[in-house]
Amino acid sequence: MWATARRMASTTRSASSAALTFELVGKCSTTRARASILTLPHGQVNLPIFMPVATQASLKGLTPEQLEATGCRLCLNNTYHLGLKPGQEVLDAVGGAHKFQGWNHNLLTDSGGPMLLTPEHSMSLQNSIGSDIMMQLDDVLVTTHPDKARMREAMERSVRWLDRCIAAHKYPERQNLFCIIQGGLDLEMRRECCREMVARDTPGIAIGGLSGGEAKDDFCKVVATCTEQLPELKPRYVMGIGYPEDLVVSVALGADMFDCVWPTRTARFGNAITKHGVLNMKREMYAADFGPIEEGCGCQCCRPVGQEGSLGITRAFIHHNAAKETVAAHLLTLHNVWYQLDLMRQAREAIIADQFPAFVKKFFVGLYPDGQSYPSWAVNALRGVGIELLGR
């Protein structure tokens, strides 16, 4: 099993690069969980964090002001989509994606998508977008790919492409290029890739290639293996994960940043994320339920009527509109984004207070009140960093 951290940070520690400062403000004395402040060109971001995905320069159904009101200070754009439309010429003319979409906070762009790209082209597009964090172009395979030789080829190609991305990056003084660790489920290959990528000294480091259908036990082993190898004073980003259980366990394993389209996509199917699991608001049981989406939630939908910014939305209203009106999708998106961000805010507060194990246990009790149906992958992963879920 991976080593367990046993101390809190006695003093704040920080490290800086040209366009990023990473300040470690707290560590769990049991697990690997960390709390930190990431300062980027468009302001501070408290870590750990979940980053909503605004694929085509907008979070579907939300205005920039509504997204800002959730507390979001870092969200994602997609290089591939923005490269196609509005296109690089328009982005250059307007002065980048921040101005194009009216977003005054930080942006992260992934490296590309299903289009022909070179590292140089990917960097050029991301330079035009003007994102605060830009991702290297990497060779991504699903983790369950059976050809080990092809997996090694992809890992080694990703290292070579990072070198080309670094050389092609035009604005390192105002945009941060993150590397991406590859290697599938082969832990030794992941360690090798970590060593190569860390040697390039990028401002931050991502763990890529997960959420590709692998078993959750394998997912956790990869995250734990990589975080064990990575520098303490750099942000660690696990790409493409968004289920609440995945976020909480990954924080315990030492990761800081996460993204996924799932919270916003599931909202469009009428689903609300809550501390007791996902609620399908299309179910008839909510037709005459005049309570909030989630009691005690601080989002604009759920705040009690009379509180500042409250929309006074009921489950019955969401149910009434969920089948055919877009307003329900918009409101559930607002709620789900708030939930994800607030979950990470709570985790951060627990880490700073050195109460993170208690937070984790309370979180899992909320989802599995009988205590008997905890997912084995979560039990195993948390046991590896000192939290015994079954020993309440």
Higher pLDDT, 120 or 211: 120
CA 48-105-338 angle, to 5 degrees, is 50
pTM given for the model: 0.95
Query: Topology of 17-260 in CATH?
Result: TIM Barrel (3.20.20)
Q: For position 112, what pLDDT does the model report?
A: 61
Q: For position 5, what pLDDT does the model report?
A: 37
Given a cut of 50, is residue 8 above it in pLDDT?
A: no
Low-confidence winner among 37-46, 140-149, 357-366, 375-384 (lowest mean pLDDT): 140-149
Closest CA to 255 of 267, 239, 272: 239
Average pLDDT over residues 275-298: 97
Q: For position 392, what pLDDT does the model report?
A: 53
Given a cut of 80, is residue 2 above it in pLDDT?
A: no
Given a cut of 50, is residue 74 above it in pLDDT?
A: yes
Average pLDDT over residues 226-253: 98
The residues annotated as belonging to the active site are 110, 259
Residue spans in the chain of domains classed CATH 3.20.20.105: 17-260
Average pLDDT over residues 300-313: 92
Q: Which residue's structure tokens are 């367990």?
A: 4
Q: In terms of C-beta density within 10 A (0-12 exposed, 13-18 middle, 19 or more buried), how is residue 291 classed? A: exposed
**What HEC string does 142-208 produce?**
CCCCCCHHHHHHHHHHHHHHHHHHHHHCCCCCCCEEEEEECCCCCHHHHHHHHHHHHHCCCCEEEEC
Given a cut of 60, is residue 11 above it in pLDDT?
A: no
Q: For position 3, what pLDDT does the model report?
A: 41
pLDDT by residue (tens digit) across 197-237? 999 999 999 999 998 889 999 999 999 999 999 999 999 99
φ/ψ of 37, rounded to 5, equals: -120, 125
pLDDT by residue (tens digit) across 307-362? 888 999 999 999 999 988 999 999 999 999 999 999 999 999 999 999 999 999 99
Q: What is the per-residue DSSP string for 291-353?
A: S-SSTT--STTTSPTTSTT-----HHHHHHHHTT-HHHHHHHHHHHHHHHHHHHHHHHHHHHT
Q: For position 258, what pLDDT does the model report?
A: 98
High-pLDDT (> 70) share of the chain, %:
96
Closest CA to 184 of 161, 162, 156, 164: 156
Closest CA to 81 of 59, 98, 109, 56: 56
φ/ψ of 234, rounded to 5, equals: -140, 145
Given a cut of 90, is residue 1 above it in pLDDT?
A: no
Q: For position 360, what pLDDT does the model report?
A: 98
H/E stretch holding 228: helix 216-229
Q: 5, 34 in Cβ contact below 8 A? A: no
pLDDT by residue (tens digit) across 82-117? 999 999 999 999 999 999 999 999 999 997 667 788
Given a cut of 60, is residue 7 above it in pLDDT?
A: no
Average pLDDT over residues 53-64: 93
Q: In terms of C-beta density within 10 A (0-12 exposed, 13-18 middle, 19 or more buried), how is residue 375 classed? A: middle
